[in-house]
Amino acid sequence: MRTGSEPVTARSPLRMRFWLSVWGLIITVAGTVAFALAGRPGWAAACAALWLITVIDMALILRHIREGPRYQPGRDVPPYQPPDDRW
């Protein structure tokens, strides 16, 4: 919901986040394979964990892109109240 305090032309960088997550996906898969082949199971597990986080992030980004720019929550979600304490 709009509170009136955000800029009219504000845009979400979802496409940029999508391409950064594609880049992260490529790097983490390559790291997992490289460390597994090099016999470093700890580093391979760390890269696999980052791969899982990247896949989850990409799924959320794609969901937000599919919702579209005019997505509004339903009637059961109350509007956000602007903060009372201003500098």
Below-70 pLDDT ranges, the chain = 1-12, 69-73, 77-87
**What is the residue extent of each domain of the chain?**
25-67
What's the pTM?
0.67
Q: Which amino acid would we find at residue 87?
A: W
Residue 41: which residues within 8 A CB-CB, separation 6 or more?
35
Closest CA to 17 of 46, 60, 47: 60
Q: Distance between CA atoms of 18 and 15, rounded to whole angstroms?
A: 5
pLDDT tens track for 13-35: 888 999 999 999 999 999 999 99
